Structure 1
Amino acid sequence: MMARRGGPALRALAALAPAVLLAQCAPAQAENVVKLPAALTDPAVPAKRATAVLAGGCFWGVEGVFSHVKGVISVESGYHGGSAATARYELTHDGTSGHAEAVRIVYDPTQVSYGTLLRILFSVVADPTLKDRQGPDVGSQYRAAIVPLDATQRQVATAYLAQIGRGGYFARPLVVPIERYKRFYPAEPTHQDFMRRNPRNPYIVRWDAPKLAALKRLFPDRLRATPAP
């Protein structure tokens, strides 16, 4: 069921009274939440700004969670993996564009490391054992993926996947690809900061609010006082 896509399922839900709608989409525990260990390979980066590109399913929730992480300067939803011609929301639905819904995170490495971003991604945002899907959304556009922007990020990503794969934290094998960076295309304005602007949206209530709640519960020391833009 892809209830956020504006199809018959969403129209049927929209016809319900708001109280009934919210009751049917009440927050639940985020799927497969597990507090993973800190990255063992996570070298210090002597800079005040760095950029990460990550994918973890619907970009609404990925952006919403990382905007609350201390040390994150900004988060932008967008598309990565395909061409400029298909970097539009309406062209990602069939999963043939090559794009994943992704986020571009600008962060301060002196406050939050790249390894910590990966730890949060796989602890509360995305299930790394699911191939081409997350939550209710199915298709390669919803794949979880790591997109290193330099050799150090690739080293951290490779080591962390191996570390948590050996640790037995998941019942199934990890299937997260480490993808070569191509180009990040910002999503349309309506998708930016969607979770904060639409907290009562049924999809947000059911699928993304629990992820933010899990972040606050598992990593209280990592929370920003106010969300990043």
Structure 2
Amino acid sequence: MFALQWRQQTRASSMRYQGRLQDWNDDKGFGFVIPNGGGDRAFVHIKAFEQRTQRPTDGMLISYALRRDERGRFNAIAVRSASATKTVTSKPKRPPFTARLPHVLLGACALLCILGLWIAKLIPEWTLPVIGGMSVLALGFYLHDKGAAARGEQRTPENTLHLISLLGGWPGALIGQGLFRHKTSKSSFQAMFWLTVVLNVTAIWLLASGRLSLPH
């Protein structure tokens, strides 16, 4: 029985189909494909594309093989673009310069600097525990989001990651970005992330200098 099921699955995965992408979520990197002529739709993850010569979009014609996951759901594998009839000659997008930064080193140095300022009593007493705690929280969220992206599961909203950074978790976020190679190549995310860093550092400086005080 097991051998028969294995042969059927192998034969099914070797067959190729054509269909169009539907409900593609570019931020999360997944969507679904509806086969031409009708039939069950299948889950498509961006990692299933064999050659990423162009960014997937809704309505894109693709060819693919099928495989069932452990829950019996159809997943598209060995995905290829079927709509491109000529070689794509456009240059790939260059990642932002922030992708080349030593994120782990920057995050670790930031925590050490904050520790030094805290010991010297140059920043409020609550600063170190808040930034340390939020950094641990940020590290956990980045690890979870990276795993969710790999498994095609529901992702952590980017606004949540930015809020954690704004509230002091940006050193841990830097370490998470570097350790897990996550969110470092997305220009829009990096721009907002570094804005949260500037805002948080500015707020701490204003509080430490007495130019700003927390409400009692």
TM-score, normalization by structure 1: 0.22
* Higher CA-based Rg: 2
Instruction: Tell me which of the two structures has the higher relative contact order, counting C-alpha pairs closer than 8 angstroms and 6 or more residues apart.
Output: 1
Structure with the largest fraction of helix: 2
TM-score by length of structure 2 reads: 0.23
